[in-house]
Structure formats: C-alpha cells, structure tokens
Amino acid sequence: MMWLRNKDKQKRMKRSGVFALGVLWFLSGSAWAGDAHDLAVAQGQQAYEQGQYQQVVELVKPLLKESSPPSQASRLYILALASLGKTNEAVETYEKEVAVTKREDDPLLRQIAIASILPLRSDMREQMRGAAYTALKEIESDHAVEYLEKGLSDETGMVRALVAEILGQREAGQRSKRFHEALKDEAGLVRATVLIGLGQSGDGKFVPMIEPSLNDEQHLVQIAAARALYELGRKQYWARLEQGAKSEEGYERGAAIRALGELGDRRAIPILEKTISDAQPSIRAAAIASLGKLKASESLPTLKAVLFDRNPAVRSVAAFSLGYFEQHQVLTPLTRALADSNPGVQAAAVASLLRSGAPYSVVKETVQQLLNDQNPAIRSGAVKALGNGKGQEVISALVRALNDPLPRPRIGAARALGRMG
C-alpha cells in the first residue's frame, strides 16, 4: 500500500512538473517575444536618429501586425513614413491607430507635421526650401530653432535672409550662435536681417556685436546697424537714419525709410510725407507703409490721396496702411478701393476693412469675386485678406477655400483658420 501511495505521489509530481515546465516554456516564449520587440524598437529608434528612415520602416512594420503593437513602434513607423515624404500613408496609419485607441495624440501629430517638412529643406527648388522654412515658422517651440538654423547655410541668399528674419523674431533664435555667425554672411541682405533681429531683442549686450557693422561696405547694412543700435538705446544713430532717407542710393533710402516706420518716432512724419512723391514706386510704397505704422492722424489725408497713385502696388500698400486707423476714419476710402481695377488693391482693402472691424457684409461681394477668380494668386490674396477678420462668416469663407483645386489657396486658408484657433 505504501508503494502504491508513493507511486501515486510520483505521478502527481510528474504531472505537476510537466505543467510547470509548460508554464515556464510559455512564459519564456513571451519573454523572448518581448525581448525581440524591444530589440526591434531599439534598433528602429537608433536608425531613426541616424536618418535611416527606410530601415526604420523595415524594422518596425512587422511589429504592427501584432494584435497590440508597442506604441513606440507605431510612432517610429509613422514618423519614418512622414520623413520619407509619404505623408498620406503616415496620416492613414495614425488614423488607424486612433480608431483602435479612441484618442488623439496631438504631440504625435505635431511630430508628423515637422517630419514631413524637414526633408523639403534639401529640395532642389528654392521655392520649396523657402516654403519649408516658412512652415517651420509656425512652430512656436524653441526646438524649431535647430531646424531653422540649417537654412543659414542654404546656397541661396534669399532663403538665408528668410531664415535670418524668422530666427530674429524669436528669443531663442536671437541667442543662436549660428545666427550671430551670419553677420559675416557674403550677402548684405542677410547681414542686415541679422542686425535687425539683434536690435529687436532689446538686449544691450549685443551692442558690441552690432557696432562694427556701422562701417560695413554696403550702406544697406549700415542702416540696419543704426536701426538696431537706436532700438537698443543708442538714440544718436537717428541722424544716420535721416541721412539714409535722403540718400541717392535706392537700397539705402528704402531701408532707412522702412526703419523710420518701425521705430515709431514721430520725427519721421515730415520726412516720410516728402518721400511719398519719390519717382521710384518702391520708395513711395515704403514711405506709405511707414506712415501707416506710425498711425498719425495728420497723415490720413496723404494716405487717402495715395489711393489714386498710378501704380497698383503703391495703391495696395496705401489700402493696407489705412487699416491701422479707426474704422470711422477710413471706411469711405476703403469701400471705394473695393472697386479698384486691380485685384491686389481690392484684397488689401478687404484686409484693412476687416482689420478695422467693418462688418463682413461690406466686403462679402468682393471676397466672393476674388475667391472665384481663375488666377490662383488672386484667390490666395483673398484668403490672406480674410485672415485679418473674425466671425462665423469669415470662417465659412475660409472653410470653402479649403476645397480650392490648387494647394496654395488651400494652405493659406488652413493657416488663417489655424491662427483663429
């Protein structure tokens, strides 16, 4: 009997041992699978950091076939697709994940947007590179500065100047070492743009960095240095700006006139009113824009008169500049400008009327005509003008513009709606 009891005990132990081994095998298999997942994700992360986006896709795509893929694997896969220029596929994958998780991931959406933009900084076309940096401008985070800095070494001076302007409007950009190094850029426009950014910082520690540019070989840069120093409290450089406004050189004169408007010093008013009769349309336009920014009521008759200038670009600037004044002061001339023969003037009038608080009904008919124009540039201008307004009717017009057959008006509408929140 004892032998039988021992035998039964041995059988039970054997069964228990087999069960334990089975559980151990199952758990070990799960652990190995987990290790494999972790390894693939780690390798994918490393490949992503090295810019090997196709390798990321190949590493983590198999993990997405699991019933519950690791979240990091999904993120890497989506961002790699966006970085490869496969934005539609990235968004589709994101939407599938949202359908499963039942929640949006705003940080991931922002990363998708950035990942889609960054490759365009190396596009062969200057226009596309400029568009990429303009899009990065919309990213408020200081992390955007490192993405923007690459543009300071772009092969085209206009792109470098654009990037310098964007960086100069950010505190983190103004502190950037690469931004400071651009004071030695071969293009005078880039150097001048950096100086303006340093002046806008309000930080006096930049004065020693700016002062050598007063002797730059290009007068345009000298004016930018004088403007920056004036903004940083060195008021004696107003005289240099006045001198520049009377210069025979067009670039210097234009830069000085624009600076006078930005600085907000009323001493500029008589200088600017004289300049409105300049033979060069670009100089007249610069003077008008500066007068508008000064918001001096005594300049209103002058600005209203310029709405009849022979040059449509000058009339456009005049119409836009009137938008800085109170609605009751400018309603009549701007309403008349809606009937101007030039669509650019019409769009500027729409922008100013909306900015001054005029009801949408005043501009509705003109907006509809502009949005239905066959020229996409005119439709884009209308969209940009609508961005100066608010209210449901403005939003509805912008939403309709999202269905434009071409991307430029659609992008403008999306940006305007985004700024409205």
* Structure confidence by residue, pLDDT tens digits, 31-58: 444 566 677 778 778 887 787 888 877 8
pTM, whole model, 2 decimals? 0.77
Q: Is residue 9 part of a domain?
A: no
Instruction: Please write the tens of the pLDDT for every residue from 211-233.
Output: 999 999 999 999 999 999 999 99
User: Are residue 290 and residue 367 in the same domain, yes or no?
Assistant: no
Helices within 215-358 (DSSP H only):
219-231, 238-245, 250-263, 268-275, 281-294, 300-305, 312-321, 327-337, 343-355
Let me know whether 111 and 129 are in one domain. Answer: no
Residue 221 lies in a domain: yes
Q: Quick one: what percent of the chain has pLDDT higher than 70?
A: 90
Return the pLDDT at 8: 52
Asked whether residue 114 falls in the same domain as residue 133, the answer is: no
Q: Is the pLDDT of residue 24 over 80?
A: no
- Same domain membership, residue 157 and residue 174: yes
Kindly report the CATH number assigned to the domain that includes residue 148.
Answer: 1.25.10.10
Domain membership of residue 393 (yes or no) is: yes
**Pair 70, 194 in one domain:** no
Residue 27 in domain? no
The closest alpha carbon to 293, from 257, 327, 329, belongs to 257
Among 71, 96, 122, residue at a domain's last position: 122
According to DSSP, residue 336 is labeled H
Q: What is the mean pLDDT of the chain?
A: 86
Query: Binning pLDDT at 50, 70 and 90, where does residue 9 land?
Result: very low
CB distance 300 to 278 below 8 Å: no
- Domain hosting 249: range is 123-262
User: What SS3 state is found at 48?
Assistant: helix
Does one domain contain both 314 and 367? no
Half-sphere exposure of 88 (CA within 13 A, CB side): 0
Residue 375: its H or E element: none
Answer yes or no: do 83 and 55 share one domain.
Answer: yes
- Do both 214 and 133 map to the same domain? yes
SS3 content of the chain, % helix, strand, coil (to 5): 80, 0, 20
Is the same domain home to 160 and 291?
no
For residue 155, being part of any structural domain is answered with yes
- 217 and 144 within one domain: yes
Q: How many CB atoms lie within 10 A of CB 11?
A: 10
* Shared domain check, 211 and 97: no
> Residue 350 domain-assigned?
no
Tell me which of 305, 337, 369 is where a domain ends.
337
Which of 227, 244, 262 is at the close of a domain?
262
Single-letter amino acid code for the residue at 215? N
Contact 321, 355 (CB under 8 A): no
Q: What is the pLDDT of residue 173?
A: 96
- Residues contacting 202, CB < 8 A, separation 6+: 231, 232
The whole-number average pLDDT for the span 303-318 is: 96
The span from the CA of 180 to the CA of 190, in Å, is 11
How many angstroms separate the CA atoms of 294 and 269, rounded? 8
Q: How far is CA 87 from CA 59, 83, 93, 111, 380, in A?
A: 19, 8, 10, 12, 24
pLDDT tens for 325-377 read 999 999 999 999 999 999 999 999 999 999 999 999 999 999 999 999 999 99
Q: Is residue 351 helix, strand or coil?
A: helix
Indicate if 281 and 329 belong to the same structural domain: yes
Residue 348 lies in a domain: no
The whole-number pLDDT of residue 139 equals: 81
- What total number of domains does the chain contain? 4
- Whether 77 maps to a domain, the answer reads yes
